[in-house]
Amino acid sequence: MKYVDVFRDAELAHQLARHIHQQADPGRHYRLMEFCGGHTHAVFRYGLPALLPDNVELVHGPGCPVCVLPVVRLEQALELSRLPEVILCSYGDMLRVPAGKGQSLLKARADGADIRMLYSPLEALTLAQQHPERQVVFFAIGFETTTPPTAVLIQRADEMGISNLSVLCNHVLTPAAMHAILTPREGEATAIDGFIGPAHVSTVIGSEAYAPFPRQFGKPVVIAGFEPLDLLQAISMLVGQLNRHEARVENQFSRAVTPDGNPKARVLVERMFERRSSFEWRGLGEVPASALKIRPEYARYDAEQRFELSAPRAREHPACECPAVLRGQKRPDQCRLFGTPCTPDNPLGACMVSSEGACAAWYRYNRGR
Ligand code: SF4
């Protein structure tokens, strides 16, 4: 833990917190959104809200891949899983997400569907080779961090001439979601003064990807690492910019993030995927150019082309406040289902399912405070 412990030093954390107290103008309120679900968990795990002044508020964003996936896309995966020739595979978190009528991929598996949990998309290649008589479908979700591995899967399948594999692509784009958050809906105020930019995503897309937000919206972005000192320093940098009426992109996580990210990964993603004209996000609704689909040159690996999929009606729990939570308009504990009956063991909405979901983080670390 040599290279991690230095970013968890308690004395330095208190020094940074004291500095933020000195910086924060008592005459104003600072609402800072940590976009990434990993940051949300770190914020609670290290008790950072207790170290901050009352007028520096952390708002939880939509950076949790399973939380933002609309139920319609999950219903399509369920539909595929019911085809006898299909082996459907995805990441573990996805299996527990509730769809309509108490359904989930986990329940479908208990009912006999062939649904497998993967740690890496490349495991789907092995499945396809082991079961040449079946159709292996990878239910791909996630932001820019998980897109390159899906691109590698398609590239490898193409190189190996594997024809019984396809991808149900649901990869989404972080800057488009940030743009949607900063574009208020009718009757809603823009809730955010600045962003704590995501760590993993930024290693791929680079810090330059956030340049439009200061320019277009006048909002600062500070990319941060996952450790408590990273986050406290990023908060201090944001408060400093806001006090000086500045709006810039700053990179606190310079030990991992560069201005142009990972060009090799970006080239591969660009080769395999193109932007959808629009995509429906849970919480954010339809967001233009905010998701990827497989390019026509690789359409043979596109499950949407290979199978005839219907567009089922979404049936989320009517009282679930995930949409407002994901837009930073409500805290998880302001949902009347929070804690009773919605818990990590009995999730009624996607934000309670994933280890990166805001409701799950609030339940685990903040309940009863
Ligand atoms: Fe949805 Fe449960 Fe969170 Fe309420 S507590 S917003 S029902 S996930």
What spacing in Å lies between the alpha carbon of 92 and ligand 1's midpoint?
A: 20
- 25 and 142 fall within a common domain: no
Separation between Cα atoms, residue 275 and residue 295, nearest integer Å: 9
Confirm or reject: Cβ of 352 under 6 Å from ligand 1: yes
Asked whether this complex has an ipTM greater than 0.90, the answer is yes
Strands 278-281 and 285-288: antiparallel
Domain co-membership, 138 together with 236: no
Ligand 1 in contact with 44 (CB < 6 A)? Answer: no
In short, whether 325's Cβ falls inside 6 Å of ligand 1 is yes
Residue 13 belongs to a domain: yes
Q: Do the beta carbons of residue 100 and residue 75 sit within 8 Å?
A: yes
Residue whose CA is closest, atom 5 of ligand 1? 338
Is 337's C-beta closer than 6 angstroms to any atom of ligand 1? yes
Q: Based on the fold, state whether residues 85 and 219 are members of the same structural domain.
A: no
- How far apart are alpha carbons 215 and 316 in whole angstroms? 37
Give the CATH number, domain containing residue 61: 3.40.50.11750
**Same-domain check for residues 139 and 108:** yes
Pocket flag, ligand 1, residue 332 (CB < 6 Å): yes
* Rounded-to-integer distance, Cα 119 and Cα 208, Å: 30
Structural domain containing residue 270? 67-174+261-306
Cβ of residue 33 lying under 6 Å from some atom of ligand 1: no
Q: What percent of the chain has pLDDT over 70?
A: 97
Alpha-carbon span 328 to 37, nearest angstrom: 13
User: What is the pLDDT at residue 327?
Assistant: 82
User: pLDDT tens across 308-348, in order?
Assistant: 887 766 667 889 998 888 888 889 999 999 999 999 988 88
Give the pLDDT band (50/70/90) at residue 190. low
Q: Does one domain contain both 106 and 229? A: no
SS3 292: strand
Asked if residue 155 belongs to a domain, the reply is yes
Q: 292-294 and 273-275 as β-strands: parallel, antiparallel, unpaired? A: antiparallel
Looking at the domain assignment, is residue 329 inside a domain? no
Same domain, 73 and 111: yes
223 and 82 in one domain?
no
Supply angle C-alpha 130, 135, 139, rounded to 5: 105
Q: Total domain count for the chain?
A: 2
In a domain, residue 368? The reply is: no
Mutate to test the pocket of ligand 1, among 322, 327, 334, 367 (most ligand atoms within 8 A of CB): 322
CATH number of the domain residue 300 falls in: 3.40.50.11740
* Pair 152, 184 in one domain: no
pLDDT value of residue 368: 58
pLDDT digits (tens, 9 = 90+) for 62-116: 888 888 898 899 999 999 999 999 999 999 989 988 887 778 999 999 999 999 9
Looking at the fold, whether 148 and 106 belong to one and the same domain comes out as yes
Rounded CA-CA distance 21/4 in Å is 25
Shared domain check, 275 and 127 = yes
**CB of 323 sitting under 6 A from ligand 1:** no
Q: Whose CA is nearest to atom 3 of ligand 1?
A: 359
Whether the predicted pLDDT of 369 surpasses 60:
no
Residue 369 lies in a domain: no
**pLDDT for residue 129:** 97
Atom of ligand 1 nearest to the CA of 349: 8
Give the atom of ligand 1 at the shortest distance from the alpha carbon of 353.
8
Contact predicate 231/249, CB 8 Å: no
Average pLDDT of every residue of the chain: 93
Q: State whether 23 and 169 are in the same domain.
A: no
pLDDT for the residue 130: 98
Q: Of 360, 283, 294, 366, nearest to 329 (Cα)?
A: 283
> Which atom of ligand 1 lies closest to the CA of 319?
7
Would 86 be classed as within a structural domain? yes
